[in-house]
Amino acid sequence: MSITITAVKNPKWKTIKQNNVDTQVIDCEIQCDKFGDEWLSFGATPYDTEQHGKKLWEDLNNGVYGSIDPEN
């Protein structure tokens, strides 16, 4: 599914278990062209299979959406 992310807020690091291995994810909220002004939860990883997910991971790590809060 190709989407365009139009806004991002509240990025924070989160550790999840994936195949019994701890994986770092950037948890955030996004708005996109498919859902108008609704905020959706999104977990960005470098392994996303969709282009918008890969781009979001890169942009978050490059500070495009501000600093990433540490995990609590």
Could you read off the pLDDT of 11-48 as tens digits, one per residue? 999 999 888 999 899 999 999 999 999 999 999 998 89
Residue 43, pLDDT score: 95
Rounded mean pLDDT, 46-67: 95
What backbone torsions phi and psi does residue 57 show, to the nearest 5 degrees?
A: -55, -45
CA dist 52 and 59 (Å) reads: 10
Residue 72, pLDDT score: 75
Q: Residue 64 above 80 pLDDT? A: yes
Q: Residue 49 above 80 pLDDT? A: yes
Q: How far is CA 10 from CA 38, 41, 42, 49, in A?
A: 15, 10, 10, 23
Identify any residues that bridge with 29 across adjacent strands, giving them in sequence order: 9, 41
Cβ neighbours for 41, distance < 8 A, ≥ 6 positions apart: 27, 28, 29
Residue 2, pLDDT score: 80
